[in-house]
Amino acid sequence: MDYQQFDSLFHPRSIAMVGASPDPANSFMLNIMLKHGFSGKIYPVNSSGSEVLGLKAYASIKEIPDTVDYAFLQVPAKAIIQVIRDCAAKKVKLATVFTAGFGESEIQGRGELERELADAARQGGVRFLGPNCMGLYCPAVHLTFASEFPQESGPVGVLCQSGGNSMQLVRAAAWRGIRFSKLVSYGNAADINESDLMEYFAKDPKTRLIIAYIEGVKEGRRFSDVLRATARVKPVIVLKGGRNEGGAVAALSHTGSLAGSVMVWDSLLKQANVMQVHSIDECVDVALALLFMRPPSSRKTMIVGLGGGATVLAADDCYDAGLVLPPLPEETKQALRKVTREAGKIFKNPVDLSDMFSFPSEVAHSVKVVGSWTGADLLIIHFGLEVGPYVIGLKRVAPLAEAIMGAVREVGKPTALVVHAAYGDDASQAFLKVQRMCVEAGVPIYPSFQRAVSAIGKVISYYQNQ
Amino acid sequence: MDYQQFDSLFHPRSIAMVGASPDPANSFMLNIMLKHGFSGKIYPVNSSGSEVLGLKAYASIKEIPDTVDYAFLQVPAKAIIQVIRDCAAKKVKLATVFTAGFGESEIQGRGELERELADAARQGGVRFLGPNCMGLYCPAVHLTFASEFPQESGPVGVLCQSGGNSMQLVRAAAWRGIRFSKLVSYGNAADINESDLMEYFAKDPKTRLIIAYIEGVKEGRRFSDVLRATARVKPVIVLKGGRNEGGAVAALSHTGSLAGSVMVWDSLLKQANVMQVHSIDECVDVALALLFMRPPSSRKTMIVGLGGGATVLAADDCYDAGLVLPPLPEETKQALRKVTREAGKIFKNPVDLSDMFSFPSEVAHSVKVVGSWTGADLLIIHFGLEVGPYVIGLKRVAPLAEAIMGAVREVGKPTALVVHAAYGDDASQAFLKVQRMCVEAGVPIYPSFQRAVSAIGKVISYYQNQ
């Protein structure tokens, strides 16, 4: 299948929800899709033919008096072959087999059933995602499989073998400002697999960055070729599930995947210049640095923050991540001295503004002074909400964050903001406020210095190897 | 000085706040102390003798018509020698020199001034913390230097060379349930230093666990001996600031510390069986595992959670951290099958309960089934708030968390709860709710699986080497 054909699969104009019944357990997906406002028609299908959430239902997909582009199948595993045949008869182009209990299951005969499903689909000309997956999130047509996914499209394409990880990833990324071209949750990959999807995203002009969560591959050689080719044209981030003995056992039972050797994966990803991450949080961290920061032209970093001890640890983290802190020249120190007095602060690189939380304009001015110094190509600003004599809560945080955002805009250099994670009620509210402000300003925000520099270090290595 | 003498220093009955004036910038510390409700008398001292926050002030500490046990000195650096002499005349036992701009400063003559300060104090018989520090937090006498520090005492003693890191540490730890015997922020350590404090906490019967944030040591040989001796009697966690080239530059300007060789530190800590951490978050993570979990008798771990992909990554993290997942025996799988159907879940070790967020009693029952299996000595439960089709917000989280806490109590095995970090408003509220419930139940809570197992792995290594 070529790019155009896949792309049309992923933009359906009508959906059949097979298995959506008045039972809430079987209609939650329809409910989510309705609330998200899918732009086409939705037709519930269930054996009783009873109405679901106010929509007329059909006893079979074949009875729907309209073309059906996409079918979401939530039916018992044993019924799946017949339903796929119905889809074929109805000329459905793409199905998502949500149902679990196939090749990943220990139940006798379920691996065979998955192969029969694939055969039936192939014979009937139906492409499908799964089984054991959530299917498609495509904001362009307002198609979703989970609540609170963004309505707007963005530059990130995702292939994700896990439904839960898809949801965690989209939401965590969305709250930090990332939007998606589309996400495909593809489960056991009995038909459409990781190579197909990687190829699709490589060609998709709406996708600038590809994220993949993969437990195992179906076509090893092809995937290796596709991944190398893709990484030559677009940045790719891979989170490999089942990296070791423990995860591999789980992956086999989760998506029926053979996890493969960690050494083979590590060397493939390294050779292909693919950014490997080890958690969903890290995945988002790296994506943020790719999307919201122009490529820094070197590892030379300027740190400015509030809190002496935090500053010492920040500098340690910087070097651990392979970033360097060139010494601040005397004229910049002099310029800082004009903004604020030096006692109790650090006027080097890093710069520590100590406890100036209540002096936003001095903080902003200092950020501008050190940010405009040409000796560093990357600026990292940090502060904590629970680090001063008084906790900074929702009310106090806005002036400080606003002043910093203003300075960042003026400096115009690749910049990240670290707001040290807060554990208290007030400070957590303040953190979310700053997060929202960062999203609006297009500034990447990180909850720890270590996470920021680890992600940025990876991204700089990516650019340097490209 | 012996333990008793130090201990009496740290429990003052009266305080002079020297430099506290009606100017809010010079009275915030007095304000914080008053609000916290120090159990003794507080006397502001300022040159004008004007009243501060409703308290009568004195023009000199010598004019206070009472004994003064502890003096908090917030006066210009150049005035410090005279003030210390006044303290000596008044027979003040302990002073905290909050003022910065001594040995850590690049200003000419300030290193010399710090030595003069130490000489004057020694001659006058005044012990002091600092300069350039926050001093004492001692909940037993309701003495604090920052707002929102817990009123109650607990088992953790802290020596911390950074004031900001002290505040970040106490608050982050407090929100997760940790309480302190006392914390000493000691800055440049011109008099009382890390060896004195480590020795004190080693002998302090109220301190069961010691945390140290150290940028440099004053007496290398003595510290090495004291640390080894201390680690033989109590668990010690060390966060070293200035681990590398970057941090060392900052440490010199922060507390005038010579950071020392990272290799020497690493080998000292390893030989002494001291737990080394690299961030304040990790410090709290390790302390939680020490305080809220009986020592697991092996690395054999049972994982049970919600979310297939999250489960795969959890198992990977487990092995990365040196924990192992012995296979679940058939009878336990059978017992699980009686609680809930298997399709779409994983009944191995790890166990994945998939999307059973709305079935708290089944989750609790499953936790009890796998928790009571004797093949593992440690139980880790995990779920995410943004990982299902619907986000779990404040309202929905309580029944799930309550059911899990109940099961944990019943199982009675070393147990940790991981609630994957949330970035959205609703889920963040839910996270804080579960955090509060964990604190009440005495269950250690972690915001990522990686953080949980890394901390627990360190703690098990500590026990095994002890």
Q: Which pLDDT score is estimated for B165?
A: 98
Q: CB B162 to CB A309 under 8 A?
A: yes
Q: Which pLDDT score is estimated for B343?
A: 80
Write the pLDDT tens digit of every residue in A393-415: 999 999 999 999 999 999 999 99
Contacts A172 to B, Cβ<8 Å: 386, 421, 423
Nearest Cα residue in chain B from A319: B246
**A243-252, B176-185, B359-368: the lowest-pLDDT one:** A243-252
Nearest Cα residue in chain B from A240: B313
Q: Which pLDDT score is estimated for A106?
A: 84
Write the pLDDT tens digit of every residue in B245-276: 889 989 999 998 888 888 899 999 999 999 99
**Distance, in angstroms, between B65 CA and closest chain A CA?**
30
| B50 pLDDT above the threshold of 90 | no
Q: What's the rounded mean pLDDT across residues B376-401? A: 96
- Which residue type sits at B149? F
| A265 pLDDT above the threshold of 90 | yes
**Distance, in angstroms, between B144 CA and closest chain A CA?**
10
Q: Which of B148, B163, B254 sits opposite A311 (nearest CB)?
A: B254
Residue pair A423/A392 in contact by the 8 Å Cβ criterion: no
Residue pair B193/B217 in contact by the 8 Å Cβ criterion: yes
Phi, psi torsion values for A100, nearest 5 degrees: -105, 180
Q: Which of A167, A246, A388 sits opposite B388 (nearest CB)?
A: A167
Q: Which of B171, B310, B350 sits opposite A165 (nearest CB)?
A: B310
Q: Which pLDDT score is estimated for A165?
A: 98
Q: Which pLDDT score is estimated for B64?
A: 97
| B138 pLDDT above the threshold of 90 | yes
Q: Which pLDDT score is estimated for A257?
A: 86
Report d(CA B179, CA B138) in Å as an integer: 11
| B9 pLDDT above the threshold of 90 | yes
* Best residue of A145, A185, A312 to probe chain B, by most B CBs closer than 10 Å: A312
**A103-107, B152-156, B336-340: the lowest-pLDDT one:** A103-107
**Distance, in angstroms, between B349 CA and closest chain A CA?**
8
Q: How far is CA A83 from CA A86, A95, A126, A136, B78, in A?
A: 5, 10, 11, 19, 86
**Distance, in angstroms, between B12 CA and closest chain A CA?**
21
| A448 pLDDT tier (thresholds 50, 70, 90) | very high
> Coil, strand, or helix at residue B255?
helix
Q: What's the rounded mean pLDDT across residues A380-393? A: 95
Q: Which of B167, B311, B423 sits opposite A254 (nearest CB)?
A: B311
| B156 pLDDT above the threshold of 90 | yes
Report d(CA B110, CA B106) in Å as an integer: 8
Q: What's the rounded mean pLDDT across residues B8-26? A: 95
Residue pair A280/B316 in contact by the 8 Å Cβ criterion: no
| B106 pLDDT above the threshold of 90 | no
Percentage of chain A lying above the pLDDT 70 cut:
100
Number of Cβ atoms within 10 Å of the Cβ of B106: 14
Report d(CA B244, CA B259) in Å as an integer: 8
| B30 pLDDT tier (thresholds 50, 70, 90) | very high
Write the pLDDT tens digit of every residue in A286-333: 999 999 999 999 999 999 999 999 999 999 999 999 999 999 999 999
Nearest Cα residue in chain B from A216: B312
**Distance, in angstroms, between B300 CA and closest chain A CA?**
12
Contacts B215 to A, Cβ<8 Å: 309, 312
pLDDT averaged over chain B? Answer: 96
Q: Which pLDDT score is estimated for A111?
A: 95
Pairing of strands B236-240, B209-214: parallel
> Coil, strand, or helix at residue A187?
coil
Residue labelled with tokens 């965690």: A168
Number of Cβ atoms within 10 Å of the Cβ of A232: 12
| Residue (of B171, B166, B181, B108) closest to B132 by Cα position | B166
Contacts B425 to A, Cβ<8 Å: 432
Write the pLDDT tens digit of every residue in A90-117: 999 999 999 999 999 988 999 999 999 9
Residue labelled with tokens 């080394």: B276
Report d(CA B10, CA B170) in Å as an integer: 18
β-partners of residue B446 are B418
Q: Which pLDDT score is estimated for A285?
A: 98
Contacts A457 to B, Cβ<8 Å: none
Residue pair B323/B349 in contact by the 8 Å Cβ criterion: no
> Which residues have CB under 8 Å from A440's CB, separation 6+?
none
Report d(CA B284, CA B290) in Å as an integer: 10
Q: CB B146 to CB A389 under 8 A?
A: yes
Report d(CA A59, CA A82) in Å as an integer: 13
Q: Which of B243, B280, B346 sits opposite A254 (nearest CB)?
A: B346
Report d(CA A286, CA A195) in Å as an integer: 22
**Distance, in angstroms, between A13 CA and closest chain B CA?**
22
| B421 pLDDT tier (thresholds 50, 70, 90) | confident
Phi, psi torsion values for A183, nearest 5 degrees: -130, 135
> Which residues have CB under 8 Å from A302's CB, separation 6+?
A325, A328, A349, A350, A351, A370, A371, A373, A375, A376, A378, A379, A380
Q: Which of B254, B315, B344 sits opposite A100 (nearest CB)?
A: B344
Residue pair A185/A134 in contact by the 8 Å Cβ criterion: yes
- State both tokens at B206: 């109220």
β-partners of residue B15 are B42, B70
| A1 pLDDT above the threshold of 90 | no
Q: Which pLDDT score is estimated for A287?
A: 98
ipTM greater than 0.90: yes
Q: CB B309 to CB A241 under 8 A?
A: yes
Q: Which pLDDT score is estimated for A342?
A: 85
Q: What's the rounded mean pLDDT across residues A36-50? A: 93
- Which residue type sits at A199? E
pLDDT averaged over chain A? Answer: 96
**Distance, in angstroms, between B319 CA and closest chain A CA?**
6
| Residue (of B457, B298, B293, B286) closest to B374 by Cα position | B298
pTM: 0.97
* Best residue of A149, A313, A317, A453 to probe chain B, by most B CBs closer than 10 Å: A313
